Amino acid sequence: MKAVQFSEHGDREVIEYGEFEDPEPGRGEVLVEVKAGALNHLDIWTRKGMPGLDLDMPHIPGSDCAGIVAETGPGVTRFEEGDRVALLAGVPSDGYEFDHDGDETLSPGFHIIGEHVRGVHAEYAALPESNLVEVPEGVDWVTAAASPLVFQTAWRMLIERGELQAGEDVLVLGASGGVGHAAVQIADYTGAEVYATASSEEKLEYAREVGADHTINYEEDDFADEIREMTGGRGVDMVVDHIGAQTWQNSLKSLTKGGRLVTCGATTGGRPETDINRIFWNQLEIIGSTMATPSEANEVLDLVWEGELEPRIREVLPMSETSRAHEIIEEREGFGKVVVKPDSVYDS
Ligand SMILES: NC(=O)c1ccc[n+]([C@@H]2O[C@H](COP(=O)([O-])OP(=O)(O)OC[C@H]3O[C@@H](n4cnc5c(N)ncnc54)[C@H](OP(=O)(O)O)[C@@H]3O)[C@@H](O)[C@H]2O)c1
């Protein structure tokens, strides 16, 4: 089969699209004929390499895909040939015994398909059936591939970890990114008052289209000052931050007393200066969040399948142009998700 792959970490030039051994489904696994895959910022980190990341090379990237069940391995009970499926990329530890109230994301060996083990940007992928969800007829492959990782991440951040309530004020940073644009939609769906930031007027226009009530161009204005002004000096109840070092101090400054900062990422660095006095005096909560449990993911994906929430697509490219897909993300071009399809099905 053909697969996106790299044999060493590095710049975009290390990405290739070429022959790779055909995967075979093992016990409890399903062979999926991939119709579309989506990129996440994670694909950039994985390509560049991260401390502690020790990959079997060549590595196939990709943590989002959707396609058709081509074959089932022994012991598979939930799927049969021809079923339409999408991937949930989080994998709990082997033999996990459901402590932590059954929260798989807190299992000690929790890892992500595409990041820690081979991913799915290929013509075929053999995947544990427990990592697959059914995609209803009528949902197109691009939507099915672009939604799972970012919508589950944003759902857990806002709803499960942050416990966002209708009527609260929430600030979503980086509203043009995958997680950001999902967070804006979920906050709006919840009935919160949504403030969103992005780096250009065009991106802010999109943010308003998907549900932002108030927008701030943080390249032009100090977003913490703007939030104070827009909320009559009060600040917001929740900040959704996946940008990290560059925004951290202003995220804290944007919160009202007792506010919550929910973080899932640190695109601009993970070691910001912080203001401990502000945290204790204003009794702020700092909440970490990663991926989601299958039941949380299913809850939000049902809303996507029903059309209540919807991924916006920056571009759909053949997998042989994955390097360009990385460029779009790294250069912060556009709004929403970048999707790749195997070259053999690109035109279908
Ligand atoms: N913990 C988890 O489970 C989890 C899950 C998903 C993602 N994440 C993390 O969350 C972050 C966002 O992921 P994503 O896939 O949504 O990324 P993305 O689609 O690339 O979006 C990132 C957004 O951040 C903004 N940004 C601000 N400063 C930036 C900079 N210096 N470089 C790049 N972008 C910058 C950009 O918006 P503007 O151009 O408008 O500023 C961009 O749209 C990543 O760090 C990712 O690893 C974590």
pLDDT number for residue 108:
87
Angle in degrees, 0-180, between the axes of helices 148-155 and 178-190, rounded to the nearest 10: 50
Task: For residues 82-91, give the mean pLDDT.
Answer: 97
Top-tier CATH class for 151-288? alpha beta
Between the CA of 332 and the centroid of ligand 1 the distance, in Å, is 9
Domain ranges of the chain: 2-147+312-346, 151-288
Testing ligand 1's pocket by substitution, the residue of 267, 289, 312, 327 carrying the most ligand atoms inside 8 A of its CB is: 267
Give the pLDDT band of residue 101 (cuts 50, 70, 90): low
Q: Is the pLDDT of residue 99 over 70?
A: no
Which of 332, 335, 337, when mutated, tests ligand 1's pocket best, judged by the most ligand atoms within 8 Å of its CB?
Answer: 332
pLDDT digits (tens, 9 = 90+) for 274-320: 999 999 999 999 999 999 999 999 999 999 999 999 999 999 999 99
- Taking the C-alpha atoms of residue 39 and residue 338, their distance in angstroms, rounded to an integer, is 6
| Residue 267 beta carbon below 6 angstroms from any ligand 1 atom | yes
Judge whether residue 78 has pLDDT over 70. yes
For residue 247, how far is its CA from the centre of ligand 1 (angstroms)? 12
What per-residue confidence (pLDDT) applies to 134?
A: 98
- Cβ–ligand 1 distance for 243 under 6 Å, the answer yes
Each residue's pLDDT tens digit, 112-125: 999 999 999 999 99
Atom of ligand 1 at shortest range from CA of 244: 45
97 pLDDT exceeds 80? no
- Cα 177 to averaged position of ligand 1 atoms, centre (Å): 6
Q: Is 76 in the pocket of ligand 1 (CB under 6 A)?
A: no
pLDDT digits (tens, 9 = 90+) for 32-70: 999 999 999 999 999 999 999 999 999 999 999 999 999
Rounded to whole angstroms, the Cα distance separating 116 from 114 reads: 6
Tell me if 217 CB under 6 Å of ligand 1.
no
Q: Is 342 in the pocket of ligand 1 (CB under 6 A)?
A: no
Closest residue (by CA) to atom 43 of ligand 1? 177
CA distance 62 to 5: 10
Q: What is the pLDDT of residues 222-268, one digit of tens each?
A: 999 999 999 999 999 999 999 999 999 999 999 999 999 999 999 99
pTM value?
0.98
pLDDT at residue 348, rounded to an integer: 83
Give residue 91 CA to ligand 1 midpoint distance, Å: 22
Instruction: Give residues with Cβ within 8 angstroms of 279, minimum separation 6.
Output: 252, 286
Angle between helices 148-155 and 294-305 (to 10 degrees): 110
CATH architecture observed for domain 2-147+312-346 = Alpha-Beta Complex (3.90)
Mean pLDDT of the residues in the chain: 96
Pick the atom of ligand 1 nearest to 112's CA.
Answer: 3
Average pLDDT of 115-138?
97
Residues in the chain: 348
User: What does the pLDDT look like over 6-21, one tens digit per residue?
Assistant: 999 999 999 999 999 9
Strand partners, 126: 31
Same fold, 2-147+312-346 and 151-288: no
Res 87: pLDDT: 98
**Ligand 1 atom nearest to 178, measured from its CA:** 16
Phi, psi of 195 (to 5 degrees): -105, 135
Beta strand spans in 199-233 (E): 214-217
pLDDT at position 300 is 98
- Give the rounded percent of residues in the chain with a pLDDT score beyond 70: 98
- What is the pLDDT, as a whole number, of residue 280? 98
Q: Is the CB of 177 under 6 A from ligand 1?
A: yes
335 Cα nearest atom in ligand 1: 43
